[in-house]
Amino acid sequence: MKTINGPAMAIGYYLWLRTRWMLAALFPVAIIVPLVKQRVVIHLNGHEDYAGDLTPPYYPQIIMVAALIATVIIFVLLLSQFCYAGKDVSGRESAFPRWMMSLPIRSFSLVAWPMLYGSTVCALACLLIFYVLLPRQAFSRMPYWPLAAAAAFCAWLQAVSWMPFWWQLARMIAAVVCLIVVIGLGVLAQALEFQDWLVLIGYVGVLALALVAGTQGVSRARRGDGVRSPWSNGAVRKRIRPIDLRLTFRSASAALLWVEMRRNLIFTPFISLIGPVLIFGLCAFHAGHPSTFYVYGKMISSTMIMASIFIGSPLCCSLILNGTLAKFDTWLPDITVPNLLAVRPVTDSKIVAAKMKNVAITMAVTWLATYGLLILWAILPNSYERHYSVAGLVAANFTMRYLMWGLIVAIGLPLICWKFAVESLWVYLYGRRWLINLVGFGTITIWIALGTLAKFAPWREIVPFLPWLALMFVLAKGVIAVVIIRALVDRRLLSPKRLFGWSIVWLLIVLSLWLSVKAVLHPQLLGQWLLAAAVIWFVPANRLLLAPLALHANRHR
Amino acid sequence: MSALHPMIEPQASPPSRADGAHPAVEIRNVTRRFGQKMALDDVSLTLPTGTVLGLVGENGAGKTTLIRHVMGLLKAEQGLVRVFGLDPVLEPVKVLSQIGYLSEEPDLPGWMRVHELIRYIAAFYPTWDAQYASQLQQDFALDLSARIKHLSKGQRARAGLLCALAYRPDLLVLDEPSSGLDPIVRRDILSAIIRTIADEGRTVLFSSHLLSEVERVSDRIAMIKNGRIVFCDTTQAVRDAHTRITIRFDEPREQPPVMEGALMWEGRGREWTAVMSVPANEARSSASALGAQVVEQSALNLDEIFLARANRAGGQTP
């Protein structure tokens, strides 16, 4: 058996084992996409660059966007591997593997080599994204700083992951601050028109600082320092009030919800508010921001962009992070049911019900915070066209009709997010990584395929068949529901009495939604049968029913 | 914790809820594979109520897999598992409310404080005995305000044990609970088993590597090897069914002799010592039939039986 000499080789080999599949996935992107660009894009467009704006033909954009999404996902996975992710993100302890801490190597070597490898790979991945996947006309001049920024960001993310923190959320906040500072440096340098070599020197300094911070962090973690508050002085806090063990929760459901809220409540608001808070900060402290932005050949109002970010961020988060809320602890990588819960006498349906309640509370918190931020932004004196406030504009054009629509949208948005999230719970509740990957990548593929098909579909011939298509979808939903309900009854997860009750509730929701939309919608826009089919298709049923079934398969393997 | 309210204390040490009509655990022809590996191979085992069964076997023999089937955490690919006559997969609430479970890694959430853990677990069991929980907490010297991640391994095991005992389960399932723990914690776990036995009609199923402990508290012992039950009997019967015999031949031999029931041979030349899975008199008769003289014969302790069984290739029942 061949042995590995030296820490550089050993750490390199360990990182290679962790990242080889992701690196292997990058190769096809690096080889196939330029080929596609050569063969397809030039053939269709007559030149190498594909159009950035949405002008026909669409397929070059679709191909490149798909490749871009895949590369960005691989890039994020690579980052997590180079940070040795896998521990509790909200934990105070260093994420650096314990077995490596006991190796007879200096902390500097333990940190420097993975930082070097990680930064290099991230810079190369960034090179791929910027110079192969993005259209040339997206930039007036090809920037070099994103490469250095990617390398510096990877190094700082590693340093932050490996530092011990005495406050639980400090790691997440530090990671966000690093992202802002590292990217902000490049943006600032561009705005001030610094020379490229100066920016690169700046980033080398940032990398060196990351190395120092990482080494310091790992040294402290090796000594076991850093997880206690500097003010606690090692003293153990004692509760003055005696703890009475006779006090307990009202029910098992209350206990389940309590744990859900302790571990899974702040994840979505935290992630979804990062973008809006940054944007709010920019607007609040940068009064001279441009009133319009030139985006791919079109002038777009900055107010529209800001409002889209405020509204879009929680919507995107509920679409992307939705299934994560099904984990028993969002901050941990495990997707299996922990023994602590699996061996308790509680039904799978009760566990799912607690998760759904928590998702509802999470969405309410997220949207309340978003609306709060949106109102604060709206009253800024420069929020509309630099010289006026959005609140002033709204006040000037206030009507009861607008208020009613505003309220409907304000209530509808959290409800839609809740729907997205609870419909995806089953994917994570099943507890198998392959299903999560299959559904994630499968959804992206289906949407891209549907977009492509929509372009080529002979719509004029299809329109007369739309009611039949809708009927077919409704029938398919019904058949799938019957299959799932049978499985639920067979496994004793749903009693006939409860099934009857839920069916009535579901029908009432469908009926009331159909009547409401029918009252609002212009009768010429959509036939009432087509509308009924759309409502039946929209109101969640099958994927909700799948949740306890998936949990059953996870709990009793 | 706003949802807290005082709970009604049940009577101390209530009688077992098991009706006695069904055995505590009944496993019939259970087979389970993990990929190519046969984890359980046609295993059958019955654990009557009120007995203590010690499950022994090497690492990877299938002890944890068997226990996870009893808990309903694994579904039998073939065969049948019943706990108090109920299917643990189809009726987890009824089954799990009667089982107290502690594993080698108690899998307790590090962020919880001890009193939060106790209150959380108590919410699932209508029979939770708060007074008993308090008593166990004092016996184990558990700091209620400490976070679980700050507890030592022994304290974590004690917290897990408290949560497994405080509702006075009819069946206590312990999966290598004392692995890697100091003698004081091991003593606590053993006393818990003894206390559980003292409560009328309660049953204990526990797996351990520490055979002296198994020998001390078990009524019955089952050994599992390569996913098959090698033997399952009372402690005394297992000891009686094994013997060590030293025999002497007139002529020196290159190879150990062939004797039915021999698990392990040691020696060379004229004198050979065997560990045999037959009673002492049968071993003597076999030796005489080979023309050898019995030099010494002695009883074996569980450790020696386990070693001899573990060394023998295959897992077939003799």
Q: What is the mean pLDDT of residues B238-246?
A: 87
Residue A357, in any domain of the structure: yes
Residue A33 clears pLDDT 80, i.e. is over it = no
Same domain, A395 and A478: no
Residues 22-81 on B with a CB inside 8 Å of A are 71-75
Same domain, B191 and B251: no
- Rounded CA-CA distance A116/A208 in Å is 11
Residue B161, in any domain of the structure: yes
- Rounded CA-CA distance A487/A503 in Å is 16
Residue A149 clears pLDDT 50, i.e. is over it = yes
pLDDT given for residue A345 in this prediction: 92
HSE, CB side, 13 Å, CA atoms: give it for residue A119. 22
User: Do A465 and A524 touch, CB atoms closer than 8 A?
Assistant: no
pLDDT class of A155 with cuts at 50, 70, 90: very high
Q: What is the mean pLDDT of residues B100-107?
A: 83
Q: What is the pLDDT of residues A327-358, one digit of tens each?
A: 888 888 788 888 889 999 999 999 999 999 99
Residues of B in contact with A344 (CB under 8 A): 96, 121, 124
What is residue A292's three-state secondary structure?
strand
User: Do A196 and A144 touch, CB atoms closer than 8 A?
Assistant: yes
Higher pLDDT, A389 or B73: B73
User: Do A297 and A307 touch, CB atoms closer than 8 A?
Assistant: no
**Of B161, B156, B89, B130, whose CA–CA distance to A342 is shortest?**
B89
Domain that holds residue B43: 25-238
Same domain, A412 and A276: yes
Same domain, A149 and A290: no
Higher pLDDT, A237 or B201: B201
Residues of A in contact with B81 (CB under 8 A): none
Residue B22 clears pLDDT 90, i.e. is over it = no
- Rounded CA-CA distance A51/A269 in Å is 36
- Rounded CA-CA distance A147/A280 in Å is 27
User: Do B244 and B297 touch, CB atoms closer than 8 A?
Assistant: yes
pLDDT given for residue B202 in this prediction: 84
Query: What is the domain-level CATH number for residue B175?
Result: 3.40.50.300
Residue B4, in any domain of the structure: no
B1–A556 C-beta distance less than 8 A: no
Same domain, B179 and B295: no
Residue A237, in any domain of the structure: no
Residue B285 clears pLDDT 60, i.e. is over it = yes
Same domain, A217 and A263: no
* C-alpha distance from B84 to closest chain A C-alpha (Å): 15
User: Do B55 and B231 touch, CB atoms closer than 8 A?
Assistant: no
Nearest CB to A340; choose among B95, B108, B123 = B108
Residue B76, in any domain of the structure: yes
Same domain, B291 and B196: no
Nearest CB to A255; choose among B89, B94, B123 = B123
* C-alpha distance from B78 to closest chain A C-alpha (Å): 13
Give strand pairing partners of B45.
Answer: B27
**Number of separate domains in chain A:** 3
* C-alpha distance from B59 to closest chain A C-alpha (Å): 20
pLDDT given for residue B74 in this prediction: 92
Residue B306 clears pLDDT 90, i.e. is over it = no
Same domain, B201 and B277: no
* C-alpha distance from A478 to closest chain B C-alpha (Å): 26
Parallel, antiparallel, or unpaired: how do β-strands B203-207 and B171-175 relate?
parallel
Residue A476, in any domain of the structure: yes
Same domain, A59 and A204: yes
Residues 473-532 on A with a CB inside 8 Å of B are 491-492
If you average pLDDT over every residue of chain A, what do you get? 81
Same domain, B143 and B194: yes
Residues 48-107 on A with a CB inside 8 Å of B are 88, 91
Residue A334, in any domain of the structure: yes
Same domain, A71 and A207: yes
Same domain, B159 and B259: no
Same domain, A214 and A335: no
Residues 143-162 on B with a CB inside 8 Å of A are 144-145
Residue B8, in any domain of the structure: no
Q: What is the mean pLDDT of residues B289-298?
A: 84
A344–B124 C-beta distance less than 8 A: yes
Nearest CB to B115; choose among A243, A345, A492 = A243
pTM of the model: 0.78
CA dihedral B80, B83, B84, B89 (to 10 degrees): -80
Residue A441, in any domain of the structure: no
B1–A258 C-beta distance less than 8 A: yes
Same domain, A40 and A173: yes
Residue B6, in any domain of the structure: no
* C-alpha distance from A269 to closest chain B C-alpha (Å): 21
pLDDT given for residue A93 in this prediction: 80
Structure token digits, residue A144? 């070099």
pLDDT class of B141 with cuts at 50, 70, 90: confident
Same domain, B128 and B203: yes
pLDDT given for residue A84 in this prediction: 85
- Rounded CA-CA distance A406/A378 in Å is 14
Domain boundary among B204, B223, B238: B238
Same domain, A409 and A505: no
Q: What is the mean pLDDT of residues B205-217?
A: 82
Residue A445, in any domain of the structure: no
pLDDT given for residue B3 in this prediction: 42
Residue A231 clears pLDDT 70, i.e. is over it = no
User: Do B186 and B178 touch, CB atoms closer than 8 A?
Assistant: yes
pLDDT given for residue A547 in this prediction: 93
Residue B13, in any domain of the structure: no
* C-alpha distance from B305 to closest chain A C-alpha (Å): 33
Same domain, B103 and B222: yes
Same domain, B68 and B147: yes
- Rounded CA-CA distance A477/B127 in Å is 43
Domain that holds residue A79: 6-223
Residue B139, in any domain of the structure: yes
Q: What is the mean pLDDT of residues B137-161?
A: 87
**Number of separate domains in chain B:** 2
Same domain, A83 and A118: yes
Higher pLDDT, B211 or B222: B222
B119–A247 C-beta distance less than 8 A: yes
Residue B225 clears pLDDT 90, i.e. is over it = no
% residues pLDDT > 70 (chain B): 89
Residue A361, in any domain of the structure: yes
Same domain, A76 and A196: yes
Q: What is the mean pLDDT of residues A201-221?
A: 91
Region label for B298, one of left (φ > 0), alpha (ψ between -120 and 50) or beta (otherwise): beta
Assess A340–B contact: CB distance below 8 Å, yes or no: yes
A254–B123 C-beta distance less than 8 A: yes
Domain boundary among A399, A423, A447: A423
pLDDT given for residue B14 in this prediction: 53
- Rounded CA-CA distance B260/B273 in Å is 14
Same domain, B102 and B231: yes
Domain boundary among A223, A238, A263: A223
- Rounded CA-CA distance A538/B4 in Å is 39
Residue B122, in any domain of the structure: yes
* C-alpha distance from A93 to closest chain B C-alpha (Å): 11
- Rounded CA-CA distance A519/A428 in Å is 38
Q: What is the pLDDT of residues A80-112, one digit of tens each?
A: 888 887 666 667 788 888 888 888 888 898 999
Higher pLDDT, B60 or A3: B60
Residue A57 clears pLDDT 60, i.e. is over it = no
Q: What is the mean pLDDT of residues A105-124?
A: 90
Assess A258–B contact: CB distance below 8 Å, yes or no: yes
If you average pLDDT over every residue of chain B, what do you get? 83
Residue A137, in any domain of the structure: yes
Nearest CB to A556; choose among B72, B93, B94 = B72
Same domain, A419 and A481: no
- Rounded CA-CA distance A286/A493 in Å is 56
Residue A246 clears pLDDT 90, i.e. is over it = no
Same domain, B150 and B268: no
A339–B107 C-beta distance less than 8 A: yes
**Of B45, B35, B37, whose CA–CA distance to B81 is shortest?**
B45
Same domain, B232 and B254: no
Q: What is the pLDDT of residues A251-293, one digit of tens each?
A: 899 999 999 998 888 888 888 887 788 777 766 666 555 666 6
